[in-house]
């Protein structure tokens, strides 16, 4: 599965109801996200990309770029585990 940054930015826009953002905007400080928004954002990303994130990894998300990197890493890890079977 190929994940592009624009897909993640679109997901963040939809979840937070924001029209304009950059990959390095801080979700809480710049975009006004609250704790519940992080949970909803992570759940939406898990559903969209058919993944499961570790709770500690979710807690480390600060920007859309962080979420993108988490998704890419999780997709790669999932692919490696699949190939090992």
Quote the pTM value: 0.91
Give just the sign of the alpha carbon dihedral 7, 5, 71, 73.
positive
Three-state DSSP class for 31?
coil
Checking phi first, is residue 64 left (phi over 0); if not, alpha (psi -120 to 50) or beta? Answer: alpha
Cα distance between residue 65 and residue 56, in whole Å: 17
Per-residue pLDDT tens for 12-65? 999 999 999 999 999 999 999 999 999 999 999 999 999 999 999 999 999 999
Instruction: Indicate the number of domains in the chain.
Output: 1
Torsion of CA 68, 70, 71, 77, to 10 degrees: 150
Q: What is the CATH number of the domain that holds 37?
A: 1.10.1200.10
- Find the domain containing 69 and state its range: 5-84
Computed over its alpha carbons, how large is the radius of gyration of the chain? 13
């Amino acid at each position: 599965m190929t994940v592009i940054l624009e897909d993640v930015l679109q997901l963040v826009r939809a979840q937070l109801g924001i029209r304009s953002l950059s990959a390095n905007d801080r979700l809480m400080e710049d975009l006004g996200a609250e704790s519940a928004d992080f949970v909803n954002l992570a759940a939406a990303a898990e559903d969209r990309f058919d993944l499961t994130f570790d709770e500690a990894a979710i807690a480390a998300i600060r920007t859309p770029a962080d979420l993108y990197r988490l998704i890419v890493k999780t997709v790669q890890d999932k692919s490696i585990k699949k190939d090992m079977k």
